[in-house]
Structure 1
Amino acid sequence: MPPSSNNMPALPAQHLPNAEDFLMWPPCLQSYGFRNVDRLFASRTIRRGPRVRVLARGPLYDAPFSAGERQMSIADLMNQNNMTGLTVTCRNQVVLENYGLGLLEHERWSTMSMVKSMTAVLVGAAIADGAIGSLDDAVTSYLAPMRGSGYEGVSIRHLLTMSSGVRWMEEYTDRDSDVNRYSRSLANKVPGGVLNLMASLPRAHAPGAFWNYNTGDTYLLGAVMCAATGRTLADYMSEKIWRPAGMEFDAYYTLESADGQEISGSRAGMALRDMTRFAMLVMNGGEVDGVQLLGDNWIETVGTRAFELAGLENTAGTELLGVSAYGLSWWLDDDGGMWALGHSGQRLYINRREQITVVQLAVYPEPAYFSSQEPDRDTDLLHFIRTVRQHLAS
């Protein structure tokens, strides 16, 4: 009999991947772990309401498309991009809803950083409520622990536009980068750990002068929202968006620690169909059944170009998607497209003029697991979206 460290009986147990390596998992662990994020990190439920908004269904869209010299079907794209989910809507009708890699309709998949854009949309409700006076309010007016830190003089607008000027390294392959120190704090559920990390960072640029992708900025945005509204971010999202928009499933924000602050900029969990409802809400200018949920013109505000990205570092390969500018936590292209982008292939596209949305959930391998045969997944996704627009926008 082998030795045992305890006297517990050998009952069935389910192994979960190491949460500290969340940004470094191989694809096999990603495809399992991304649907179990709430089992790896502390979380808080975003509750749906009693009424589900039924999605209208249009004719099935299944046209092939050209990707350079190759002809691809939608099935080809799903296989190549390791997709777990894909939806297309046109004029408020779902014309495609596909699932892959075993993802079920009710399961929540990690949003990754797409939730940054979603949290930015929620800011509009806080302004409309009067909880936030102005985008130019100082962060330190709401968060006393940031006084005297590199965030002195930083405004809410600076957080939304990734221009706090605070030094931050968003390098996923470097275990000692700021984003991985942040991730380890979340995995270890350290109370106040992320806020302490952010308060320790030095100033690198004047606020508003320089764009640098910074997941920590959006963490502070969520903390500002909670301080301003006196509510948890999950409850406020439920009241202002999830319930009135008729979401079908509960969602969740992850937390920095048990019963702690929501992580407003990464690794939330939502069902594909509700991400699609969110995309349609934005496409419709924040209105549901003629009722404005976010305040007049807020969607136009978040979609306004704040920084041109040409020549800037740390744009996460977004040029493959045709993205050329950054708004208020939304990526923007030159054809009227708004993008919410998340790590490892999470993509949400909205074209308000053409009334089209596309949502992709996927497992893109981390750089350590790239092969010499890696396809240009985002380039082919962009070819697909352009073909969708050609067929459906006319």
Structure 2
Amino acid sequence: MTDHPAAGPRPHLPPAAEFLYWPPQFQAYGYRIVDRLFHSRTVPASGAGSAMPYGPELDLRYVSGGIERGIDAFMDHNVVAGLLVLKAGRIVLERYGLGLRDHDRWSTMSTVKSITAMLVGACIRDGVIEGLDDPVERYLPAIGGSGYEGVTLRHLLTMSSGLAWSEAYADPASDVNRYSRCLAEGTPDGVITLLRGLRRTCPPGTRWAYNTGDTYLLGRVLVAALGGPLADYLSQTIWKPAGMEFDAFYTLDMPGGNEIGGSRAGMALRDFGRVAQVVLDDGVIGGRRVLPEGWVDEALSPAFLFGPRDQDFGSIRSSRLKGYGYSWWIGEDGSAQAHGFAGQRIFLDRAERLAIVTLSAFPQLPHVPAPVPDRHGELRLFTDAVRDALRG
């Protein structure tokens, strides 16, 4: 007779290896517990978070597809879990949905790419990294002899490594899903092995092409340069000085391994807002500069302008994006945006001292009927309505 373990209560968790193509019933739960699905490392907060002041609450209406909606309808229609609007350092709107609470950490998805890019600037200021034209293999000899040889940190920051990469989330055979499965399995150096097998399609620095593998390597470079956990550096450089309320986390590529610089970290909604405020304040926290002088201007300027061949990727057309900076998307309206899978976004309008954070669970193919709703287009309309309401 086969022995069985004793019965007892056990959680049933979404399958980590299928993270990028979960059905909708998994998303709102799974995005709140990413640190239970993947190996992770805590980004400690100070334990005494600084209060963010509140201003008069924002109210607005907007029209999409001939239908007028308010804030509640916007959240319902677009599967929004968290919504935060900051104007001149004050919260004017803070809403929670899908069971999210103010202390819950929601998955950053790729918005963490923009945060990891901030840490590159901090490392340059601290003398940990010499400059953006350092070759990757200086820090990661294991990548030598591959298509990444000769690629620089600037190329990784601007998604211009020149390596072939498929970012098709709904395709289980795509590179991004192969990468995701490596992370779920926690195989030592599994992602490095995957990246070493990529072929070069054009010289580095000549063409933009979205590649989550590039930012994974950027995170590995920072870990190697620092000689210690990236989570600790984020805590010391930004998390504690900015008075974050809650611990955040980076996910890791294997047990006790390296922080993943380009995807699926986790943090609370108001702390997303504090990250945005650091950028709006030009990388100065409490009077102390943590990013080099001029870094924010450079990072939030387009290193590449999008051409016709780029328009069908992600939300470029719907969000009216014109280019890509240092892991920030640049809008036609001069905004800077951090975008993440399934509707995560940090929107910055530096001229207006405005930040809008949206945390969402947009249903993904193949789990949505055709035609797929243009949620990014509606988010743009909502953003325009926020600007109009605050100017009024």
Query: 1:161 Cα shift?
Result: 0.3
Asked whether the 8 Å contact 2:58–2:389 carries over to 1, the reply is no
Verify: 1:19 aligned to 2:29, yes or no. Answer: no
Q: Which of 71, 76, 92 is 1:74 aligned to?
A: 71
Compute the TM-score of the two structures, normalised by the length of structure 2: 0.97
1:303 pairs with 2:300: yes
Moved more, 66-75 or 157-166: 66-75
- Give the Cα separation in 2 of the matches to 1:219 and 1:375: 30
Say which SS state the counterpart of residue 318 (structure 2) adopts. helix
- Note the C-alpha offset of 1:286: 1.0
Name the counterpart of 1:131: 128
| Greater Cα offset, 6-15 or 341-350 | 6-15
The alignment yields a C-alpha RMSD, in angstroms, of 1.3
Supply the distance in 2 between the matched residues of 1:136 and 1:374 (Cα, whole angstroms): 41
* Aligned match of 1:34: 31
CA gap of 1:71–1:189, structure 2 versus 1, over 3 A, is: same
1:342 aligns with 2:340: yes
Q: Which residue of 1 aligns with 2:283?
A: 286
- Given the alignment of the two structures, is residue 316 of structure 1 paired with residue 311 of structure 2, yes or no? no
* Whole-Å separation in 2 of the counterparts to 1:261 and 1:228: 12
C-alpha distance in 2 between matches for 1:17 and 1:6:
27
**Residues 1:43 and 2:46 aligned together:** no
Q: Report whether the alignment pairs 1:116 with 2:91.
A: no
Structure 2 residue identity aligned to 1:381: L
Find 1:366's aligned residue among 364, 367, 373: 364
1:367 aligned counterpart, secondary structure = coil
Q: Paired residue for 1:269, among 266, 269, 282? A: 266
Deviation track 1:325-352 (CA, whole Å, cap 9, x = no partner) reads: 1011000012221000000111110001
Distance 1:75 1:38 in 2: 29
SS in 1 for 2:166: coil
Tell me which residue corresponds to 2:141: 144
- C-alpha distance in 2 between matches for 1:220 and 1:63: 42
* Secondary structure at the counterpart of residue 340 of structure 1: strand
Match of 2:373 among 357, 372, 375: 375
Structure 2 SS opposite 1:219 = helix
1:182 and 1:245 map into 2 onto residues whose CA distance is 32
Q: Equivalent residue for 1:198?
A: 195
Distance 2:251 2:374 in 1: 31
For each residue in 1:80-131, what CA deviation from the matched residue of structure 2 results, as whole angstroms up to 9, or x when unmatched? 1101100001011000000001011111010000000111011111000111
After superposition, what is the alpha-carbon deviation per residue over 1:252-284, rounded to whole angstroms, capped at 9, x for unaligned? 000000001111100001111100110111111
Q: Distance in 2 between matches of 1:215 and 1:200?
A: 15
1:164 aligns with 2:175: no
1:91 aligns with 2:94: no
When the two structures are superposed, what TM-score results if normalisation uses the length of structure 1? 0.97
Q: Distance in 1 between matches of 2:30 and 2:139?
A: 35
What is the CA-CA distance between 1:69 and the residue it aligns to?
2.5
Kept after mapping to 2: 8 A contact 1:106/1:249: yes
Larger displacement relative to structure 2 (319-328 or 74-83): 319-328
**Cα drift, residue 5 of structure 1:** 5.1
8 A Cα contact 1:119 1:264, kept in partner: yes
Tell me, which stretches of 5 or more residues in structure 1 are unaligned?
none
1:354–1:393 CA contact under 8 A, matched in 2: no
Match of 2:186 in 1: 189
Amino acid at match of 2:301: T
* Paired-residue identity, %: 47
2:219 maps to 222
**Aligned partners of 1:356 and 1:393 also within 8 Å:** no
User: Does 2:241 match 1:211?
Assistant: no
* Residues 334-386 of structure 1, C-alpha deviations (whole Å, 9 max, x = no match): 22210000001111100011111000001111110112475321111111111
Work out whether residues 47 and 245 of structure 2, in 8 Å CA contact, stay in contact via their aligned partners in 1.
no
Residues 126-152 of structure 1, C-alpha deviation per residue, up to 9 Å, x if partnerless? 000111111011111111001111011
In terms of mean alpha carbon deviation, does 314-323 or 329-338 score higher? 314-323
SS of the counterpart of 2:357? strand
User: May I ask how many residue pairs the two structures share in their alignment?
Assistant: 391
Distance in 1 between residues matched to 2:220 and 2:67, nearest whole Å = 47
Farther-moved stretch of structure 1 (281-290 vs 70-79): 281-290
Q: Deviations over 1:234-260 (max 9, x none)?
A: 111111110111100000000000001
**Shift in Å, 1:169:** 1.0
17-26 or 301-310: which moved more? Answer: 301-310
**2:241 pairs with 241, 244, 255, which one?**
244
Q: Which moved more, 1:209-218 or 1:377-386?
A: 377-386
Corresponding residue for residue 179 of structure 1: 176
Amino acid at match of 1:323: L
- 3-state DSSP class of the match of 1:164? coil
Matches of 2:74 and 2:20 in 1, distance apart?
A: 24
